[in-house]
Chain A
Amino acid sequence: MRAPVKIKTLTIDGKEVSAREGETILQVARENGIDIPTLCYLEGLEPIGACRLCLVEVKGINRLVPACVTQVEEGMEVVTNSERLIKYRQMILELLFSERNHTCSVCVVNGHCELQRLAQRLGVTHIRFPYRYPNLPIDASHERFVIDHNRCVLCTRCVRVCDEIEGAHVWDVMGRGINSRIIADLNQPWGTSEVCTSCGKCVHVCPTGALSEKGKAVAEMEKRRQFLPYLTVMRGGRQ
């Protein structure tokens, strides 16, 4: 017999909500119609708390906590949209834009991009930091797909979906800090990967134009990620 589910009660933005034990702040907030912006988080993939966009304030804790990996506790008082949080989120996005060459106007996902949408939603109209304009390559060696490192935000959704769902683990991260880069297999052209099944899951979970289908013209690439929750259900909750 399953153990009875323990219920926790807490407040988010002043609203009293109840949650099951083990749920994260992000899950509970979304169940209650409170939207916290996320970028690296994707339902169906293991959360990693990397992008820091979902940072929230919790009363009694001296630092900000990422909502996607912080479990709820009894009596928690969570604030998701203070001025400080909005300022930090804007800054995170600005840093992402300044780090690589995103240039929305000539991007395959222009108009369908999560990064672009977040920037619009959070009112990022200018980038206060100097652009770094790194000289990054495009790997178009795969028959059907392209990876453009200029547009990558290192969310590692591709790494996780390939590992956790497809089980191929083609993708990984190389380097440290600002020099980090997504690599295929042992840092080789994607087209030469022997384990890639060409399933395309990485392409469709990618929030930006970093991964796209070959031959798509500007603004033509739309990502379809509805498949992910179904796949997770079909896997019967296996981890």
Chain B
Amino acid sequence: MAQRIVIDPVTRIEGHAKITIQLDEDGNVADAWFHVTQLRGFEKLCEGRPFSEMPSLMARICGICPVSHLLASGKACDQLLAVRIPEPAIKLRRLLNLAQIVQSHALSFFHLSAPDLLLGMDSDPRKRNIFGLIETNPQIAKDGIRLRKIGQTIIELLAGKRIHPAWVVPGGVSEPLTVEKRDQILSMLPEAKEIALRTLQWFKRSLEDFRDEIRTFANFPSLFLGLVTPEGKWECYHGRVRVVDENGHIVADQLDPTEYQEYIGEATEPWTYLKFPYYKPMGYPDGMYRVGPLARLNIIDGFDTPLAEQEWVEFRELERGAILSSFYYHYARLIEILHAVEKMEELLNDPDILSKHVRAIAGLNNLEGIGVAEAPRGILIHHYKVNEDGLMEWANLIIATGHNNLAMSKGILQVAKHFINGKQLNEGMLNRVEAVIRAFDPCLSCSTHAVGRMPLHIQLIGPDGTLLDELRRD
């Protein structure tokens, strides 16, 4: 008898989603869907507002990565002003983005996913959270909380506050960095570097324990897409788009991010509010690509900081070609934290970072602007059109989580097929289905343009629609 399993909502992710798993007559997994059940509507509600409000307004999309939206929005507004913003402003914005990558990756790795990794996928769900982690692995929990705090404190020192700062403005940033603040940030970085290195060592040793997960967590060929420097190195602020295939071969390179419409299409499906972007030359759904930490480490030719470069070389030796298992998103995240810390040190030791020239002043000169940056979860695109008075007429936002939508859906199917059979349901199997989503660290609040407590609700529904079994975790 065909059955349907519903996981609603998915837990320990940012936002609201549910998963439906369709079983066939023999109780084997036939298909799976990832439904994003929330709608935010930022593209609509910004209409009619002055563009100069956009960075702060769009930052409200998310409390985890407001900085990404600030930056993409700020860059789109720079284009509306048609200015080249001062070099120190670029450095300061980049610094802000790096700090956010540290805090956001720390949140994803330590707070959301480490409970699965350390306590076990099948452990008691009541303990399988950050508090359980504090009991069993206090050092790792402490490291995670500390690392996130360092990232957030740097954001606060730079931009005035941790969440939704208004520091990034069209044309640059509103305040230069003071010597005192620079020194304060510099003093925190050695500890952050130690934590990153320590965690990497531990995580690499524990990879052996997750062979099954590595093999089945969205482990399939796909394209990878992200920003690189002109030299092909890792980039998070400016840069150009590179697309790499499953063999690690470059499919397209140095594409202009502001021409994203030429090579990124967006498809919609009736069962989710999240769109499906795809690489246009290969069509839908074959043009499936992944973005974010794993993708970035797959597309680059290396890092321009020594410790991260060393880790990257080791990472890329895991597989020939591109690294395909999405389980390795966790690993990639740790390497990126390390690089972000190294890069922040480099930027802060540049005397130019203290320059007072941090803002270009101009009026409205262009009626259309596109801003692209790498958010912790992948490439983020803000595209605005304004009228001649500078009021917003239209906006299109393509969020990192959206890019990964196809891969996440396919990943759920893969992991469900491996771990679930309809004859018996247990919580650990379903947790793995959720864990594959967590590996991508999706931010659904962002990508559908809610944060809340997410109880888990699983329903087993027969082919005639009757409820056969129900499991609830409040």
Cβ-defined contact, B166 with A137, below 8 A: no
Cβ-defined contact, B50 with A138, below 8 A: yes
Please report the C-alpha to C-alpha distance between residue A233 and residue B60 in the assembled complex, in whole angstroms: 45
Inter-chain contacts of A148 with B (CB < 8 A)? 50
Known contacts A217-B55, A218-B56, A219-B166; decide if A140 and B174 are in contact (CB<8 Å): no
From B53, B55, B170, B361, name the one whose CB has the most chain A CB atoms within 10 angstroms: B53
Within the complex, the shortest CB–CB distance from B157 to chain A, in Å, comes to 18
Please report the C-alpha to C-alpha distance between residue A161 and residue B407 in the assembled complex, in whole angstroms: 61
Task: Identify which of residues 212-237 in chain A touch chain B, using a CB-to-CB cut-off of 8 Å.
Answer: 214-220
Cβ-defined contact, A106 with B48, below 8 A: no
Task: Identify which of residues 277-303 in chain B touch chain A, using a CB-to-CB cut-off of 8 Å.
Answer: none
Cβ-defined contact, A218 with B53, below 8 A: yes
Please report the C-alpha to C-alpha distance between residue A105 and residue B166 in the assembled complex, in whole angstroms: 10
Inter-chain contacts of B361 with A (CB < 8 A)? 215
Interface membership of B164, Cβ < 8 A? yes
Known contacts A217-B170, A217-B174, A220-B169; decide if A137 and B48 are in contact (CB<8 Å): yes
Proximity bits, A77-120, B CB within 8 Å = 1, else 0: 00000000000000000000000000001101010000000000
Total A residues in contact with B, Cβ cutoff 8 Å: 18
Q: Name the residue on A nearest B390 (C-beta).
A: A140
- Sorting the interface of chain B by its residue count into under 10, 10 to 19, 20 to 34 or 35 or more gives 10 to 19
Q: Name the residue on B nearest A110 (C-beta).
A: B166
Cβ-defined contact, B49 with A219, below 8 A: no
Cβ-defined contact, B56 with A140, below 8 A: no
Cβ-defined contact, A141 with B170, below 8 A: no
Within the complex, the shortest CB–CB distance from A28 to chain B, in Å, comes to 40
Q: Name the residue on B nearest A142 (C-beta).
A: B389
Task: Identify which of residues 346-395 in chain B touch chain A, using a CB-to-CB cut-off of 8 Å.
Answer: 361, 363, 389-391
Inter-chain contacts of A54 with B (CB < 8 A)? none
Cβ-defined contact, B170 with A218, below 8 A: no
Q: Name the residue on B nearest A136 (C-beta).
A: B48
Q: Name the residue on B nearest A143 (C-beta).
A: B363
Cβ-defined contact, B52 with A216, below 8 A: yes
Interface membership of A159, Cβ < 8 A? no
Task: Identify which of residues 182-239 in chain A touch chain B, using a CB-to-CB cut-off of 8 Å.
Answer: 191, 214-220
Q: Name the residue on B nearest A144 (C-beta).
A: B363
Q: Name the residue on B nearest A189 (C-beta).
A: B389
Known contacts A105-B60, A138-B391; decide if A214 and B164 are in contact (CB<8 Å): no
Inter-chain contacts of B52 with A (CB < 8 A)? 108, 214-217
Cβ-defined contact, B164 with A105, below 8 A: yes
From A105, A137, A217, name the one whose CB has the most chain B CB atoms within 10 angstroms: A217
Interface membership of A29, Cβ < 8 A? no
Inter-chain contacts of B55 with A (CB < 8 A)? 217-218
Interface membership of B101, Cβ < 8 A? no
Interface membership of B57, Cβ < 8 A? yes
Question: Chain A interface secondary structure, helix, strand, loop or mixed?
Answer: loop
Known contacts A138-B48, A138-B50; decide if A217 and B363 are in contact (CB<8 Å): no
Within the complex, the shortest CB–CB distance from A134 to chain B, in Å, comes to 13
Inter-chain contacts of B390 with A (CB < 8 A)? 140, 214-215
Please report the C-alpha to C-alpha distance between residue A105 and residue B165 in the assembled complex, in whole angstroms: 10
Proximity bits, B163-207, A CB within 8 Å = 1, else 0: 010100110001000000000000000000000000000000000
Task: Identify which of residues 388-429 in chain B touch chain A, using a CB-to-CB cut-off of 8 Å.
Answer: 389-391
Interface membership of A146, Cβ < 8 A? yes
Please report the C-alpha to C-alpha distance between residue A108 and residue B55 in the assembled complex, in whole angstroms: 12
Inter-chain contacts of A214 with B (CB < 8 A)? 50, 52, 363, 390
Please report the C-alpha to C-alpha distance between residue A214 and residue B364 in the assembled complex, in whole angstroms: 10
**Selected contact of A215 from candidates B166, B170, B174, CB within 8 Å:** B170
Q: Name the residue on B nearest A146 (C-beta).
A: B50
Task: Identify which of residues 5-58 in chain B touch chain A, using a CB-to-CB cut-off of 8 Å.
Answer: 48-50, 52-53, 55-57
Please report the C-alpha to C-alpha distance between residue A191 and residue B387 in the assembled complex, in whole angstroms: 14
Within the complex, the shortest CB–CB distance from A112 to chain B, in Å, comes to 12
Please report the C-alpha to C-alpha distance between residue A106 and residue B166 in the assembled complex, in whole angstroms: 9
Within the complex, the shortest CB–CB distance from A193 to chain B, in Å, comes to 14
Inter-chain contacts of A138 with B (CB < 8 A)? 48-50, 391
Known contacts A106-B56, A218-B56; decide if A140 and B166 are in contact (CB<8 Å): no
Cβ-defined contact, B391 with A140, below 8 A: yes
Within the complex, the shortest CB–CB distance from B133 to chain A, in Å, comes to 33
Cβ-defined contact, A220 with B166, below 8 A: yes
Please report the C-alpha to C-alpha distance between residue A216 and residue B55 in the assembled complex, in whole angstroms: 12
Proximity bits, B55-80, A CB within 8 Å = 1, else 0: 11100100000000000000000000
Please report the C-alpha to C-alpha distance between residue A185 and residue B391 in the assembled complex, in whole angstroms: 22
Within the complex, the shortest CB–CB distance from A160 to chain B, in Å, comes to 26
Cβ-defined contact, A108 with B60, below 8 A: no
Please report the C-alpha to C-alpha distance between residue A215 and residue B78 in the assembled complex, in whole angstroms: 12
Within the complex, the shortest CB–CB distance from B155 to chain A, in Å, comes to 16
Within the complex, the shortest CB–CB distance from A150 to chain B, in Å, comes to 9
Please report the C-alpha to C-alpha distance between residue A138 and residue B48 in the assembled complex, in whole angstroms: 7
Proximity bits, A46-73, B CB within 8 Å = 1, else 0: 0000000000000000000000000000
Q: Name the residue on B nearest A135 (C-beta).
A: B48
Cβ-defined contact, B363 with A219, below 8 A: no
Within the complex, the shortest CB–CB distance from A212 to chain B, in Å, comes to 9
Cβ-defined contact, B169 with A217, below 8 A: yes
Inter-chain contacts of B166 with A (CB < 8 A)? 110, 217-220
Q: Name the residue on B nearest A217 (C-beta).
A: B169
Known contacts A138-B49, A140-B50, A218-B166; decide if A106 and B389 are in contact (CB<8 Å): no
Inter-chain contacts of A137 with B (CB < 8 A)? 48
Please report the C-alpha to C-alpha distance between residue A191 and residue B170 in the assembled complex, in whole angstroms: 23
Proximity bits, A136-166, B CB within 8 Å = 1, else 0: 0110110000101000000000000000000
Q: Name the residue on A nearest B167 (C-beta).
A: A217
B interface residues with partner A (beta carbon < 8 Å): 48-50, 52-53, 55-57, 60, 164, 166, 169-170, 174, 361, 363, 389-391
27 sample A-B contacts, Cβ–Cβ < 8 Å, listed by A number: A105-B164, A106-B56, A106-B57, A106-B60, A108-B52, A137-B48, A138-B48, A138-B391, A141-B389, A148-B50, A191-B389, A214-B52, A214-B363, A215-B52, A215-B170, A215-B361, A215-B363, A215-B390, A217-B52, A217-B53, A217-B166, A217-B174, A218-B53, A218-B55, A218-B56, A218-B57, A218-B166
Excluding A106-B56, A106-B60, A148-B50, 11 further A-B contacts by CB distance (< 8 Å) are A105-B56, A138-B50, A140-B391, A214-B50, A215-B52, A215-B170, A217-B53, A217-B55, A217-B56, A218-B57, A220-B169
Q: 6 closest A-B pairs (Cβ-Cβ)?
A: A218-B56, A140-B389, A217-B169, A218-B166, A106-B57, A219-B166
